[in-house]
Amino acid sequence: MLPMSVGVFAQDQDLQTAYRYVAPKVIEWRRDIHQHPELSNREFKTAEKIANHLKALGIEVQTGVAHTGVVGLLKGSQAGKVVALRADIDALPVIERNELPFRSEVTSEFLGEKVGVMHACGHDTHTAILMGVAEVLAQNKDKIKGTVKFIFQPAEEGPPPGEEGGALLMIREGVLKNPDVEAIFGLHINSQTPVGVIRYKSGSTMAAAQSFTINVKGKQSHGSQPWSGVDPILISAKIIDGLQTIISREANLTKEAAVITVGKIKSGVRFNIIPESAEMIGTIRTLDYGMKDLINRRMMEMVPAIAKAYGGEASIEIKDATDITFNDPELVSLMIPTLKRVAGDENIQTQKAITGAEDFSYFQREVPGFFFFLGGMTPGNEESFPHHTPDFRIDEAGLMLGVKALTELSLDYLNKS
């Protein structure tokens, strides 16, 4: 049973002083991490920076968790429950396109290609925010009834092919054990939510993400004589068209949203040759387990059947990437008063579920969790760029609300009776 809701740190002067002291540090950490981004499972320098910071605060530190993850353990002055806070630390293979003085100019290798590296999803802000929370709480151990576990997670964007990583590997390695975590909180900065605003949804809030690979086999022939072969590119087009009818004609979209997207097609080498094969890769997004099962089953049935109808063959493989991000309704109800106290009633807003995905969902499968969205857009700014794009940027004025929210969610959860 979760404890009853009581706001116990509304006007704590020690916390207010700590917030003012740590605010410029959070900005400095964020800019440094932003300027030196690292791809999934390669966050070596980022992990070192985090570990050094936590050790300097007197926090017990474990490194090398799920390759490059860092876990800190802060025990309060009194015995009690264990709450976890999570931040993701990896960047994306994106070339940054702006004039920020701390923009990334880092390059690396991804899938065999040279790529730019950029914090194009805001994980640099999440890391800096949680480093700030760690400092505030370490200075206020006397207010902690229980234990806070800081989880700095690598590879939220997915480990490289052939590797394991992310939340699943951290869980497998025992990150929620010793001591056993009883609730977990996380946040995500949002470039299209105004600074000062926090948005959330109880229950299903972000989609389960799956990847799929379809291999089509035809018969090669001269491009001028298509009747002498079987065209895998034509079959691929028919398969794509067919898959979209699952969404438009079979999925009950009045219940929850669902998406099937083909993101890449690879086939052929020359303009006048019908190739022998084609490969497609893509993603499936679902917010309901029943709809997920239906879509998966129909894809498995439809792909080989369409290929056969046009004289070819096709196979499909579907892999899970993340589960549904599910905010525990009881935990959400318990902690909303804390967020309203920190941000103001008018700045705590509900939202609809979104088809983006988060592997924070795997932590929520194990323990009650609450994942919410933090405003990072300059209020009134009409030019806000989406996440995962070269122009993505965040207004740093929103970061301290994240520090305050995670700090006081932890304290209130642990200290409520």
Burial 177-198 (b: 16+ CB within 10 A, else e): eeeebbbbbbbbbbbebbbbbb
Rounded to a whole number, what is the largest CA-CA distance in the chain?
81
Residue identified by tokens 């470039």 is 191
Complete DSSP assignment for 346-411: GGEEE---BS---THHHHHHHS-EEEEEEEEEPTT-S--PPTTSTT----GGGHHHHHHHHHHHHH
Helix/strand/coil for 249: helix
- Residues in the chain, total: 417
Please identify which of the residues 96, 124, 135, 156 carries the catalytic annotation: 156
Tell me the backbone φ, ψ of residue 159, rounded to 5 degrees. Answer: -70, 160
Please identify which of the residues 38, 43, 88, 90 carries the catalytic annotation: 90
Under DSSP, the state recorded for 159 is P
Q: How far is residue 412's CA from residue 417's CA, in Å, rounded to a whole number?
A: 10
Indicate the burial class of 319 (C-beta count within 10 angstroms; 0-12, 13-18, 19 or more): exposed
Q: How far is residue 286's CA from residue 256's CA, in Å, rounded to a whole number?
A: 8
- Per residue, the 3-state secondary structure of 61-114, as one string, reads EEEEECCCEEEEEEECCEEEEEEEEEEECCCECCCCCCCCCCCCCCEEEECCEE
Q: Are 292 and 213 in contact (CB under 8 A)?
A: no
Active site residue 320: no
* CA-CA-CA-CA torsion sign (218, 219, 220, 226): negative
* CA-CA-CA-CA torsion sign (384, 385, 391, 396): positive
Helix/strand/coil for 221: strand
Q: Are 319 and 210 in contact (CB under 8 A)?
A: yes
Active site residue 90: yes
Helix/strand/coil for 201: coil
Residues marked as catalytic: 90, 156
